[in-house]
Amino acid sequence: MYPATTRTTAARDRGRVSYRRAEAHRILDEAYHCCLAFVVDGAPRALPTLHVRIDETLYLHGSTASTPLLAARDRHGLAVCVAVTILDGLVYARAQAHHSANYRSVVVHGTARLVGDPADKRRVLDALIDKAAPGRAPDSRPATGRELAQTAVLAVALDEVSVKTRAGDPSDDEADLALPYWAGVLPLRTVADPPQPAAGVTVPTPGYLTASAPVAATAPVRSARPHTDVAEAVP
């Protein structure tokens, strides 16, 4: 279990929050949607990025010229909040106030630091590429020294981590259950279409793309959560 801290303790919907280490790892490893938030010169920033988890460290990919990477050069690092989300379904209630979403999410608070050692950087980038398709890293040209210098990697220790999820049916008020409106869940999942070779490619499509293309599985159906107020779809 991760310890609950002031920053990871939920102000509402506390029944949806957990600190289970294994669950956080599963979500981080499965998800592709990652948002990095930080403050530079008093202004908030939020950027989409790619991530990969190695043991108890979350690594984020970026350019050496990007704002967060430049700010992270400070010896104190860069204070960040990282949100990783998997959307499992849209929830339709009889009442508008109880429409929601089924999701699994992880929020990480911490200090991002630049990975400077070239060997460590290569190791992380290989893991990032293999996350997109296991076996891809050895089946592609490694970065040159110049390319490696142009690529930045941020490391955030998984110390302050919280998991928040919602699953199941809408939480309609009992008084609304007899209303003549459809209610239920529209499941959503990420699937991979057949690979499309780039122009000029003559080698066959790798088996790791045809047999085990990256797919985010549909979340297991669980019982509905207790009733909550409007805007419950926000993780």
Cα–Cα distance, 87 to 182 (Å, whole number) = 21
Q: Answer with the residue of higher pLDDT: 209 or 102.
A: 102
Residue 9: what pLDDT?
87
Residues 190, 32: contact at Cβ < 8 Å? Answer: yes
Q: What is the mean pLDDT of residues 24-53?
A: 94
Residues 226, 168: contact at Cβ < 8 Å? Answer: no
Candidate from 69-78, 154-163, 175-184, 189-198 with smallest mean pLDDT: 69-78
For tokens 């508008």, the residue is: 96
| pLDDT of 29 over the 50 cut | yes
Percent of the chain with pLDDT over 90: 70
Using pLDDT thresholds of 50, 70 and 90, give the confidence band for residue 52: very high
- Across-strand partners of 61? 153
**What's the token pair of residue 107?**
């929020």
Residue 70: what pLDDT?
67
Q: What is the mean pLDDT of residues 20-43?
A: 94
Cα–Cα distance, 199 to 201 (Å, whole number) = 6
Using pLDDT thresholds of 50, 70 and 90, give the confidence band for residue 5: very high
Does an H or E element contain 132, and which? helix 118-132
Residue 221: what pLDDT?
45
* Domain definitions of the chain by residue range: 14-210
Per CATH, which fold does 14-210 belong to? Pnp Oxidase; Chain A (2.30.110)
Using pLDDT thresholds of 50, 70 and 90, give the confidence band for residue 224: very low
| pLDDT of 100 over the 60 cut | yes
